[in-house]
Copies of this chain bind each other. A is one copy, B any other.
Amino acid sequence: MTDLTVGAVAARTGLTVRTLHHYDHIGLLSPSGRTDAGYRLYTQSDIRRLETIALLRNLGLSLTEVATAVDRDPDLLVPLLEQHRERVQAKLEDARRMVARLDHVAERLRTHSPRSGDDALDTIRIVTTFEQYFREDQIEAIRAHARELGGEYIREVEAEWPRLIAAVRQEMHLGTDPGDERVLALARRWRELVDEFVNGRFDIAAGAGRMLAAEPAVRQRTGLDDDVMEYVARAAASLR
């Protein structure tokens, strides 16, 4: 009489016919009747049940959880919702972190404009390595500071570093005394650049130290091997 066929129910509820078939198949909602030809017939009661199911689905509960709350024990609904909230909250956090990471990568890609896909891969490696040695808030601080300094300036500094390191290495190989004025000048500039990067955050300095100590790849890429570091350290010591 007032019974509805699948298509009608689908149109009314916004679900698909396939979804109704599925619910029937897993026993979550089987229509109360069938026509002689085997057409599913949904009663008003079936439809009310379906609306409850859709309601809980819309809150993100799984079909199993919906079945539990609707059939097994309605009192489980509230704990199921609480537990579900925690899950979604966790996913939210994951997504937030992921977006932050992707933004970090994107930012570095913008300031360094990679010349190839492999270059981009290296950028990702660098960012990922950074994440091992700095907490999220530290990375945020570093990024914020970098934005303040500006992409232009960052590129200049990043171009200066290899020259500075090469100059130090040369003096070291020449056997120049670390207290010599030429080395002191280099060490002074070195300290300026480090201070600027660290920006008063000793924890960030410590993270950078740990990264250099633990990552041979970083030492090699930058040329900051133990010898050079020690040589500069000795020069810096006499800077006071």
Contacts and interface: CB of A to CB of B under 8 A. Distances in A.
Interface in A65-100: 69, 73-78, 81-82, 84-85, 88-89, 91-92, 95-96, 98-99
Contacts of A96: 92
B128 A74 contact: no
B120 A60 contact: no
B116 A75 contact: yes
Nearest 7 Cβ contacts at the A-B interface: A74-B117, A92-B95, A85-B102, A75-B117, A77-B117, A77-B120, A88-B98
A109 interface: yes
B55 A102 contact: no
A234 interface: no
Given A59-B102, A81-B109, 13 more contacts: A55-B121, A59-B101, A74-B118, A74-B120, A75-B117, A77-B121, A78-B120, A81-B102, A82-B106, A84-B102, A89-B99, A91-B95, A92-B95
Contact of A106 (B56, B85, B98): B85
Interface of A: 52, 55-56, 58-60, 69, 73-78, 81-82, 84-85, 88-89, 91-92, 95-96, 98-99, 101-103, 105-106, 109, 114, 116-118, 120-121, 124-125, 128
Nearest to A113: B78
A29 B118 CA distance: 18
A66 to B, nearest CB: 11
Contacts of A124: 55-56, 59
Contacts of A121: 52, 55, 74, 77
Nearest to A103: B85
A106 B59 CA distance: 12
Nearest to A131: B58
A14 to B, nearest CB: 13
